[in-house]
Amino acid sequence: MIKILIINSTLEQSGITNVIYNLCKYLNREIFEVHILTLSAESSNTRWNEFIQLKVNLHTLNLNRFEGLFMLKKKLRKAVAIINPDVIQTMSYRGSYYSFRFLEKYKKAVTLQGNIYDNYTDEYGKLIGGFFAFNEWRAFNKANLQILCSNSLKKFYSQNRDLKVIQNGADGAYFYVPLLLEKKTLRINLKLPASKNIFITVGSLNKRKDPLTIIKAFINSNRTSDSILIIVGEGPLMKTCVKNVQHSPQVIFTGNVKIVPDYYKAADVFISASYSEGLPNTVLEAGLCGIKCFLSDIPQHREIFDTTSDQATFFEKGKVEQLITLFNSFQVQSYPQSIKLNAKMMADQYGESYAALIQPKVIR
């Protein structure tokens, strides 16, 4: 058995946690023994119990931020020594950087899930964000296995070297094209209007995701009489988003929810206005559910859909008028699954990479 240890801050609901969940669910347990070590206490929005159901070996340091300043190094080394993994897998700043700093003797796989400089500077500013990006990049460069989640990121990062790409994938067991009866039933269960067009956006409400462009376009389109816009998620722009809605009853904020698949399958159109992504889980999920997608024109969005598919329509980043045009011209249509990426495919590729790193002759 090859022992894999995934280190992450928490198992709080997020895009990276979704990737970790899919990886754990579909890794071959006849070959891999999977452990997860979290660094901090879980929030109310955690998926911890869902990982228990996967029969993953869960461990936590359960440190608050203050304790982490003084106790993390010692506790991390002790916990990892007890687990004694063959490979440590990380996908975010704290796991990657602390593994790089304090777990020198172990083989490490680091996955970059986006343009780290853009992500951190947008959230923390150029000085602090640049510091975080520099540290995560150092950890990535020192890893035994360097992975990017999309071909678009490979073009951005590779320069003079060949980096491995393992594309993210959504779980087809939860995300699929619903029958008409199921869609109607879901709308009833979610207390959504049966006869209106439903537009939906899912994700953190932050500058990089640009939810304000979506809200402004919808409010100023001609669809407010026959449609609703559902905004799933929370974030630093929540108050600004609510203010821009102008008390319109046609815009619904759900906050964070655990039944995201139901909202996709009840909807007609998914919208993402992101300025930067890795390979976005939300778009993968919506695409598998067979709904129309209005997407900002970035390489990571185009990578997901086959060039012959008309399931996705693209608009220029930040261009409210272009998105208004898409809202106004929309006609309801269901699309067959045109996305080939899925969670099992992703996990199989990770498994092959781990096996090759530990036992080069096991999988070729």
Residue 338 above 70 pLDDT?
no
What average pLDDT score do residues 302-326 get? 92
Provide the b/e sequence for 307-319 (b: ≥16 CB within 10 Å). Answer: eeeebbbbbeeee
Homologous superfamily (CATH) for 180-329:
Glycogen Phosphorylase B; (3.40.50.2000)
In terms of C-beta distances under 8 Å and separation of at least 24 residues, what long-range contacts does 119-122 make, across chains too?
119/208, 119/276, 120/93, 122/206, 122/207, 122/208, 122/275, 122/276
Residue with tokens 């440190």: 63
Q: Please classify residue 31 by burial: count the beta carbons closer than 10 Å to its beta carbon, then call 0-12 exposed, 13-18 middle and 19+ buried.
A: middle
Q: At 57, which helix (H) or strand (E)?
A: strand 57-63
pLDDT band at 35; cut points 50, 70, 90? very high
Q: Band of the pLDDT at 337, cuts 50, 70, 90?
A: low
Query: Which CATH class name applies to 2-169+343-358?
Result: alpha beta
Strand pairing category for 251-255 and 227-232: parallel
Question: Can you give the pLDDT at residue 363?
Answer: 45
Q: What is the pLDDT of residue 66?
A: 80
For the stretch 118-153, pLDDT in tens is 999 988 999 999 999 999 999 999 999 999 999 999
Q: Calculate what percentage of the chain has a pLDDT beyond 70.
A: 97
- pLDDT value of position 360: 60
pLDDT at 68: 78
pLDDT of residue 321 exceeding 90, the answer is: yes
Higher per-residue pLDDT: 243 or 337: 243
pLDDT confidence of 262, banded at 50, 70, 90? very high
Contact 150, 165 (CB under 8 A): yes
**pLDDT(234) > 80:** yes
Residue that has been written with the tokens 């006849």 in this structure: 30
The domains of the chain are located at 2-169+343-358, 180-329
Instruction: Name the residue with higher pLDDT: 103 or 156.
Output: 103
DSSP run (H or E) holding 356? helix 343-358
Tokens read off for 138: 């150092």
Question: The whole model's pTM is what?
Answer: 0.91
- Cα–Cα distances (Å) from 228 to 192, 224, 252, 314, 322, in that order, read 9, 7, 7, 21, 19
Is the confidence at residue 267, as pLDDT, over 60? yes
User: How far is 80 from 62, CA to CA, in rounded Å?
Assistant: 14
Instruction: Give me the residues paired with residue 227 across strands.
Output: 197
What mean pLDDT is predicted for residues 211-237? 96
> Does the structure show a pLDDT above 80 at 20?
yes
Residue 335 is predicted with a pLDDT of 76
Query: What's the rounded mean pLDDT across residues 286-310?
Result: 91
- Cα-only R_g, the chain: 21
pLDDT, tens digit (0-9, with 9 covering 90-100), for 36-93: 999 999 998 899 999 999 999 999 999 987 887 789 999 999 999 999 999 999 999 9
% of residues, the chain, pLDDT over 90: 86
Q: DSSP label at 206?
A: S
